[in-house]
Structure 1
Amino acid sequence: MLAQFVLFDGFDPLDVIGPFEVFSAAKEFTDLVSVELVAADGPGEVRSGIPGVSLTAAAGLDPERADLIVVPGATGRMVPRGEDDLTDAEREATIPAILGRALTTGLPGLLAKALAKPGTIVATVCGGSLILSMAGLIDGRNAVTHHQGLDVLGAGGVNVIRARVVDDGDLVTAGGVTSGLDLGLYLLEREVGAKVALAVEELFEHERRGVAWRDHGPAPVNT
């Protein structure tokens, strides 16, 4: 299973490193997993949204090769309602602006190919689902994002589920930045097996939080 972790200018480092390290650690317990840091524009250094922090893409994002593609969100400030006095530099550093710039690259087209390819899983952490939504790729799908972006996600035609991890088949999304660890462990269990996932969970001394939501079973009553 080849897992590719996407980098783009302004990405949130922890969104990437959390699930990336889960799958990297899994290689100690199984030969079924391989990992790559990738970018839509190909190999090279990619700046995160934290000054002085960069990661290096080893390859280009390739939906034809990848079994799993993980898309992070961005690091920056949200724009409070009614705040019109930002300088151009401050506005360019906001999360909406960073995600908007990611949409001008080859990333949306590659993600569209991934979602259209049978057997390929696209997963997101935090604002990664907003990239998919802003690109018009997940209308009508079940997903989650950081709690500050839930209204934006819902306005984009997505069925917002308030869960830490939302499993919608070939689309698996997670909430805020720390949920990337839970996402990685959940996907590892789902795709590789509980024994390997438990071994990594014990290695990290991290217990997953909450229930991973799936569209399965009866709806709760009296809610």
Structure 2
Amino acid sequence: MPDAASTQIVFLLFPGITQLDFTAPAQALSRMPGAKLAAAAASLDPIATDSGFSLVATHDFDTCPLADIVCVPGGHGVVDALGDAATIAFLKRQAASAQWVTSVCTGAFLLGRAGLLAGKRATTHWAYTHLLPLVGAEPAPGRVVEDGRVVTSGGVTSGLDFALTLIARLKGDAVAQAIQLAIEYDPAPPFAGGHPDRAPAAVTEGLKARVYDAAAARMAAALGG
């Protein structure tokens, strides 16, 4: 794709979204040559995030332009969004003509509810990967998993990896590397424990007991599993 080509990127917003699932890839993708970003929600009312502040969409479902890239962030609000017919209908409509269909974290389950992960290799937040077969997907390892035009990414911070991966596919490695440098994405976390494969077992089990066992059960119930 030539650098001058316009690429319409549409993010789906909903109450209870994890803001970094949206804002991290949006920051990287917005710097891609020719990128045009839109954030679509059921209305233009402020949308409560999980961080104590709200976001405002640029478009509602009826006025949003058709996407070349559609991206679905995650968050605990996915459970409610799974049952919202207008949200799922919008996603199906956008995906029908999109070049790329993508998700961050538990946004994968909204892709699945829309029928977009059937038979696809996919990933999501580590606490929910065992539920991917409920939407017809095959769980696959990795922070970013590509299967044809479908690109899914793991939890929260994986959204930056996804965005840079997709930029490289569209515009070449040099463009993606320049954007990575521009945003100084040079992670050097204080602990080597961002995934259960590396985190101390007591930390993982404690977090699951406090948050994710119940959260995964709610997701399973919403998916009918």
TM-score, normalisation: structure 1? 0.73
- 1:189 — aligned with what? 168
- 1:115 and 2:117 correspond: no
Distance 2:27 2:107 in 1: 18
- 1:138 — aligned with what? 117
Q: Percent identity?
A: 33
SS of residue matched to 2:50: coil
Amino acid at match of 1:43: L
- 1:20 — aligned with what? 26
Structure 2: which 5+ residue stretches go unaligned? Answer: 1-6, 188-225
Distance 1:150 1:63 in 2: 31
Distance 1:120 1:37 in 2: 17
Distance 1:121 1:21 in 2: 18
Deviations 1:71-95 (A, max 9, x none): 0111xxxxxxxxxxxxxxxxxxxx3
Amino acid at match of 2:91: L
Amino acid at match of 2:142: A
Tell me the CA shift for residue 139 of structure 1.
Answer: 1.7
Distance 2:74 2:96 in 1: 22
TM-score, normalisation: structure 2? 0.73
Kept in 2, the 8 Å contact 1:4–1:38? The answer is yes
- 1:81 — aligned with what? none
- 1:220 — aligned with what? none
- 1:11 — aligned with what? 17
Distance 1:171 1:194 in 2: 20
Tell me the CA shift for residue 106 of structure 1.
Answer: 1.3
Structure 1: which 5+ residue stretches go unaligned? Answer: 75-94, 209-223
Distance 1:105 1:56 in 2: 21
**RMSD over aligned Cα, in angstroms?**
2.1
Kept in 2, the 8 Å contact 1:165–1:174? The answer is yes
Q: How does 1:43-54 map to 2 (within 5 A)?
A: 43-50=44-51, 52-54=52-54
Amino acid at match of 1:114: Q
Which consecutive aligned stretches of 4+ in structure 1 deviate over 6 angstroms post-superposition?
none
Tell me the CA shift for residue 183 of structure 1.
Answer: 0.6
